[in-house]
C-alpha cells in the first residue's frame, strides 16, 4: 500500500506541507518548512487512519 500523505497547514504562516500519516503519532513534533514553527500532533487520528485502511 502506498504511503498516505497528509497535508498540514502551518498555524502561523499558513504554508501547506505534506507528511506521511504513519509518521504522525501522538506527540510527534513537526516543523514548518516555511517559517520554522513547531507544532505537536495531538491524538492518534492519523495513525489510526493508516491502521484502518490497512485492514
**What is d(CA 55, CA 46) in angstroms, rounded to the nearest whole number?**
15
CB-based contact 4:20 (threshold 8 Å): yes
pLDDT band at 10 (very low <50, low <70, confident <90, very high): very high
Q: Does domain 5-54 have CATH number 2.60.40?
A: no
Instruction: Tell me the pLDDT tens digit for each residue of 11-49.
Output: 899 999 999 988 988 999 999 999 999 989 888 878 887
**What is d(CA 46, CA 33) in angstroms, rounded to the nearest whole number?**
20
**What is d(CA 16, CA 12) in angstroms, rounded to the nearest whole number?**
11
pTM for the whole structure: 0.72
pLDDT for residue 1 is more than 60: no
Amino acid at each position: 500500500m502506498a504511503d498516505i500523505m497528509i497535508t498540514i497547514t502551518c498555524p502561523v504562516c499558513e504554508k501547506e506541507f505534506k507528511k506521511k500519516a504513519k509518521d504522525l503519532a501522538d506527540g510527534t513534533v513537526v516543523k514548518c518548512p516555511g517559517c520554522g514553527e513547531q507544532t505537536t500532533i495531538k491524538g492518534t487520528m492519523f495513525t489510526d487512519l493508516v491502521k484502518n485502511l490497512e485492514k
